[in-house]
């Protein structure tokens, strides 16, 4: 497949995208057709497959097509690929930290839910003040029943 030129429909089918997507990637400079037939049909070299795989990978990381384009420009400036590799490592590290922060936040939320489960099990009524029935009161002595009873006086 190394010397074979691929039709736009073949590429689109191979990657589960539309021909319009392939043309859009070409407009953005992400891929390039090697030539066009007399009927102006695009033909792509097989190395475009590698670029499309990389585009899919980078999109799955949440990069925009503009960021991916910058990535490809950087790769063209540094044929060794070292700068791209280091940039990709930084992106992975940043995303890992973002996901770890989400996990910590989710764990805190789960802890609050578990606390509410315990407090709800201890309540006699949905409308009773949690401070009256709970062993620990997050309301710091402020009880809704005292507010309601004060209003009645």
Q: What is the CATH number of the domain that holds 19?
A: 1.10.1660.10
pTM above 0.85, yes or no: no
Between 115 and 38, the more confident residue is: 115
Domain count of the fold of the chain:
1
- 135 occurs within a structural domain: no
* pLDDT of the residue at 119: 75
Local structure of residue 124 (DSSP, 8 states)? S
What confidence tier does 96 reach under pLDDT thresholds 50, 70, 90?
Answer: very high
- 18 occurs within a structural domain: yes
Strand partners, 35: 43
How many CA atoms lie within 13 Å of 7's alpha carbon, on the beta-carbon side?
A: 7
Predicted confidence (pLDDT) at residue 48 exceeds the cutoff of 50: yes
- 48 occurs within a structural domain: yes
Q: What percent of the chain has pLDDT over 70?
A: 77
* pLDDT of the residue at 75: 86
Structure confidence by residue, pLDDT tens digits, 51-71:
999 999 999 888 899 989 988
Q: Nearest-5° angle of CA 58, CA 60, CA 89?
A: 50
Predicted confidence (pLDDT) at residue 22 exceeds the cutoff of 50: yes
- 139 occurs within a structural domain: no
- 57 occurs within a structural domain: yes
* pLDDT of the residue at 151: 46
Domain that holds residue 18: 5-61
Contact 8, 19 (CB under 8 A): yes
* pLDDT of the residue at 125: 74
Percentages (nearest 5) of helix, strand, coil residues in the chain = 65, 5, 30
- 104 occurs within a structural domain: no
- 14 occurs within a structural domain: yes
Q: How many residues can be counted in the chain? A: 153
Predicted confidence (pLDDT) at residue 133 exceeds the cutoff of 60: no
- 134 occurs within a structural domain: no
Rounded mean pLDDT of the chain?
A: 82
């Amino acid at each position: 497949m190394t010397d074979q030129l691929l039709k736009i429909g073949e590429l689109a089918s191979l990657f589960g995208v539309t021909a319009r997507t392939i043309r859009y990637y070409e407009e953005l400079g992400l891929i390039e057709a090697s030539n066009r037939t007399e009927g102006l049909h695009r033909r792509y070299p097989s190395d475009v497959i590698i670029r499309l795989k990389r585009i899919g990978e980078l999109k799955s990381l949440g990069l925009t097509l503009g960021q991916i384009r910058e990535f490809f420009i950087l790769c063209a400036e540094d044929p060794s690929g070292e700068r791209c590799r280091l940039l990709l490592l930084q992106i992975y590290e940043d995303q890992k930290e973002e996901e770890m922060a989400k996990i910590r936040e989710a764990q805190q939320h789960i802890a609050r839910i578990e606390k509410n489960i315990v407090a709800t099990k201890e309540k006699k009524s949905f409308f009773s003040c949690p401070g009256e029935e709970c062993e620990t009161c997050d309301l710091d002595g402020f009880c809704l029943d005292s507010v309601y009873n004060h209003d009645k006086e």
